[in-house]
Structure 1
C-alpha cells in the first residue's frame, strides 16, 4: 500500500519527526509528510516548538545529534543537512519528541543516505495515536 504524502501548509516550513529502521530519531523539514500526520498537526507543531526552545543544540551550527533532512520544494525529496557523530535514538529523545516521532516509521535505516525520496517506499507504517 502506498503512503499518501501531503503538505499541511504549502509555502511554509513544517518540521515533523520519524523513527528509522534502526530506532534513530529523524527530523524532516519543509516538505510533505505522511497524510495521517495532518490529523496530528497540533501535536507535531508543539513537539517542534518544544525542541527549538528546550534543545537549542539541535539547531546550532555543525552536525546536530539527530538525523536532519530538509526539502526545498513540494516534491517528497529530502536532503540530509549533516551526519551526527552519535545519532540520537528515539528511546533517548525527550518524550515530547519521541511520542510524535513514533507516529511515522521509516522502512530503512538512514545510515549514510544523503537523499531520501519518501515516495520510493521509505514509509513503512503509521501508528496514529489519539491526542493526549
Structure 2
C-alpha cells in the first residue's frame, strides 16, 4: 500500500524528520509528509524549534551533520541541501528529535541520492504506527 502524503500547511515551511534504512537522521523541509505524521504536527514543530535553538550548527551548510532535503513545491520531490561528512545517526540525536524522527522510517538508505521522490516508495510509518 502506498504511503499517503499530505502537507500540513500548504505554502508555509514545515520541517519534519525521518530515519533512513541505515539509521541516519534525515531532515525534510517545505513539502508534503506521510499523512500519519500530521497527527503529530505539534510534536514535530516543537522538535524543529528545539533543534534551531539548541543545535544551530546543524543548519550551517558548510558542516551540517544532517542528511537535509528541501522541497520546492507541493510535489513530493525533495532535493538534498548538503552532504554531511559525518552524518548524525538517530541513536546519537537528542531525544527531542529522535522521538519524532522515529515516526517515519525511510525504506531506503539516503546514501548519495541527491533527489528523493517520496511517492516512489521511500517512506513508511514506523513499526507499530498505523498509516491512517
Give unpaired runs (5+ residues) of structure 2.
none
Off by >4 Å, runs of 4+ in structure 1:
none
Query: Is 1:55 aligned to residue 50 of structure 2?
Result: no
The answer to whether the 8 A contact 2:36-2:125 is kept is no
- Residue 18 of structure 2 corresponds to 18
Per the alignment, residue 33 of structure 1 pairs with 33
Figure out how many residues of one structure are paired with residues of the other and give that number. 129
- Give the TM-score normalised by the residue count of structure 1: 0.94
CA distance in 1, matches of 2:84, 2:59: 12
State the alpha-carbon separation in 1 of the partners of residues 79 and 27 from structure 2. Answer: 11
For 1:63 and 1:16, the matched residues in 2 are separated by 20
Give TM-score scaled by structure 2 length.
0.94
Residues 80 and 114 in structure 1, CA contact (< 8 A), matched pair in contact too: yes
Shift of 1:9: 0.1
Q: Per-residue CA shift, 1:43-100, capped at 9, x if unaligned?
A: 0000000000000001123141010000000000000001000000000000000000
Match of 1:70 in 2: 70
The 3-state SS of whatever aligns with 1:28 is: strand
Give the unaligned 5+ runs of structure 1.
none
Alpha-carbon RMSD: 1.2
